[in-house]
Amino acid sequence: MHTKSLTELAHGLRSGEFSSVELTQHFLKRIKQHQDLNAYITVTEETALQNAIVADARIANGQSTALTGIPIAQKDIFCTLDIKTSCGSKILDNFIAPYNATVVEKFNLAGAVLLGKLNMDEFAMGSSNETSYYGAVKNPWNINTVPGGSSGGSGAAVAARLAACATGTDTGGSIRQPAAHCGITGLKPTYGRVSRYGMIAYASSLDQGGPMARSAEDVAILLQTMAGFDPKDSTSVDLSVPDYSAGLNNPLAGLKIGLPKEFFSNDLNSDMAATLETAINEYRKLGAEVKEVSMPNLRLAIPAYYVIAPAECSANLSRFDGVRFGYRCENPVDLTDLYTRSRGEGFGKEVKRRILMGTYALSTGYYDAYYVKAQKIRRLISDDFKMALTEVDVIMGPVTPTPAFGIGEKIADPIEMYLSDIYTIAINLAGLPALSIPAGFINGLPVGLQIIGNYFSEDRLLNIAHQYQQVTDWHQHTPKGFE
């Protein structure tokens, strides 16, 4: 059952081939069998089975949606009513959310079955899932390598078939990078397309939730449920939601693909370049035209991001003070002691590093030199994309510089870790949508192809990804031991 697509699962449930209770039990069993991957922080076994019973009744009454009865797992950054929401941090290890995030609420209304909450880098800060308070997640393709981050639990769970599908969030690459490292399909929607209400904030002007699944076809089904205006999120965009599955089979003849010369410079690893070239050739065969584009400011994306994201995080994380929610230190002697020890003991190293960097960048005297400058660069980067997207329909490139790296390999060197997002971060600064799809293997590890489109062109991106997945089978490979 775990090898089926979401459409096949919905069909199996409706035709009575299996029930949602059976399907849920099957996934719960796999989660137990493969606990060593550390993909889940919390498994909600009891509520999952209760939800499955309700879903089965709903299916029997003919009131099902495309997701009714389908087991899903949520990244532990989405608040879930009465269920622990840790955000991968000790400071929220005891936090039970009093409400559901809009995304969670939407899946609940659709009748999806929540299997549990997925492991992630602490407060979504990381590219390897090693900053999680709950320990590193292992990549099912090679358990000595990272699954990527920060949605590493989501990547590993979908690749290992420990959930039919999952959610992730992407501030600088956290959906696309783990999708690439785990050989699955992940979409970072346009900023404002998916509600951020109840999604614990890291860098609010960059954060965006999105779907992670095996194929573009599955991702389209998930996005259909996740997308849409939410009055509870002031940055949510009030724009109608198209039918994401309707255009999947549109032909690609005449599609104009741009390849940024800055992405395909000599710095790109030669195996990676060869794999991507093969993928782009498939698109040529499908009738696409390929041309070079230039985005001169792309090289400034990492430095600009590592001012803006920490600045926003330093403000967002000030709410964790040991008073209102989360961890509180023992026997504080006064208020300052309460704040400093609760935060000092509750936050991990990477989170503290970001808070310090961000506070510094925002302080009087440095604000103009760092924060304002970074915002100006952000505009230049957006303009580069705008310009390129007047010449071509979509931009393609790598997702990551290399396939998954070893656990422990980069964690001691933050700069090296930050560079693993060199191809994804600019897209968040511009607020654009982008997909990662499996496009081959290097030394047995999956490689992703990134497809970047214009604002709110998710339907087109999914169409482009789906057409590739009709002529290739990279997205159907399963890691050994998880078949």
Omega into 150 within 30° of 0, i.e. cis?
yes
Distances in Å between the Cα of 322 and the Cα atoms of 200, 317, 328 are 17, 11, 4
- Binding segment toward ligand GLN, per CB under 6 A, in 35-43, 106-114, 119-127, 248-256: 119-127
Residue 174 touching ligand GLN (CB under 6 A): yes
Tokens representing 288 are 């696409």
Q: How far is the CB of 169 from ligand GLN (least distance, A)?
A: 6
Distance (Å, whole) CA 187 – CA 70 = 20
Distance (Å, whole) CA 410 – CA 292 = 32
- Nearest CA to 70 out of 131, 126, 8 is that of 8
Q: How far is the CB of 279 from ligand GLN (least distance, A)?
A: 23
Q: Is 252:288 a contact under the CB 8 Å cutoff?
A: yes
Of the candidate residues 116, 153, 173, 346, the single one contacting ligand GLN (CB under 6 A):
173
Annotated catalytic, 174?
A: yes
- Nearest CA to 239 out of 222, 221, 227, 247 is that of 227
Of the candidate residues 44, 51, 74, 171, the single one contacting ligand GLN (CB under 6 A):
171
**Smaller CB distance to ligand GLN: residue 217 or 312?**
312
**Smaller CB distance to ligand GLN: residue 70 or 120?**
120
Q: How far is the CB of 150 from ligand GLN (least distance, A)?
A: 4
Angle 306-307-310 from CA coordinates, rounded to 5°: 75
Of the candidate residues 127, 245, 275, 316, the single one contacting ligand GLN (CB under 6 A):
127
Distance (Å, whole) CA 317 – CA 200 = 10
- Binding segment toward ligand GLN, per CB under 6 A, in 165-173, 327-335, 392-400, 455-463: 165-173
Residue 130 touching ligand GLN (CB under 6 A): no
Helix (H, G, I), strand (E, B) or coil at 17: coil
Helix (H, G, I), strand (E, B) or coil at 96: strand
Residue 37 touching ligand GLN (CB under 6 A): no
Annotated catalytic, 75?
A: yes
Residue 150 touching ligand GLN (CB under 6 A): yes
Of the candidate residues 126, 189, 397, 440, the single one contacting ligand GLN (CB under 6 A):
126
Tokens representing 284 are 């040529």
Distance (Å, whole) CA 73 – CA 37 = 15
Q: How far is the CB of 333 from ligand GLN (least distance, A)?
A: 35
Q: Is 91:122 a contact under the CB 8 Å cutoff?
A: no
The H or E element that residue 394 is part of is strand 394-398
- Binding segment toward ligand GLN, per CB under 6 A, in 21-29, 38-46, 123-131, 239-247: 123-131
Q: How far is the CB of 174 from ligand GLN (least distance, A)?
A: 3
Q: Is 322:342 a contact under the CB 8 Å cutoff?
A: yes
Annotated catalytic, 150?
A: yes
In 415-461, DSSP assigns E strands to: 434-442, 445-452
Of the candidate residues 76, 105, 170, 384, the single one contacting ligand GLN (CB under 6 A):
170
- Nearest CA to 293 out of 255, 263, 253 is that of 263
Residue 179 touching ligand GLN (CB under 6 A): no
DSSP per-residue codes, 283-325 = HHHTT-EEEEE--GGGGGHHHHHHHHHHHHHHHHGGG-SSSSS
Q: How far is the CB of 306 from ligand GLN (least distance, A)?
A: 8
Of the candidate residues 70, 114, 125, 392, the single one contacting ligand GLN (CB under 6 A):
125
Q: How far is the CB of 361 from ligand GLN (least distance, A)?
A: 14
The H or E element that residue 185 is part of is strand 185-188
Q: Write each residue from 384 to 423 as x if it is in contact with ligand GLN (CB under 6 A), else as -, in one continuous string.
A: -------------------------------------x--
Q: How far is the CB of 309 from ligand GLN (least distance, A)?
A: 5
Q: How far is the CB of 207 from ligand GLN (least distance, A)?
A: 7
Go through 96-121 and write b for each residue having 16 or more CB atoms within 10 A of its CB, e for each that does not: ebeebbbbbbbbeebbbbbbbbbbbb
Residue 77 touching ligand GLN (CB under 6 A): no
Site for ligand GLN in 416-455 (CB under 6 A): 421
- Binding segment toward ligand GLN, per CB under 6 A, in 32-40, 172-180, 243-251, 257-265: 172-180
Q: Write each residue from 197 to 226 as x if it is in contact with ligand GLN (CB under 6 A), else as -, in one continuous string.
A: -----x------------------------
**Cα dihedral angle (197, 199, 201, 204), rounded to 10 degrees?**
-50
**Smaller CB distance to ligand GLN: residue 126 or 228?**
126
**Smaller CB distance to ligand GLN: residue 102 or 400?**
400
Residue 309 touching ligand GLN (CB under 6 A): yes
Which residue in 174, 195, 236, 245 is the catalytic one? 174
Which residues belong to the active site?
75, 150, 174
Binding footprint of ligand GLN on the chain (CB under 6 A)? 124-127, 150, 170-174, 202, 309, 421
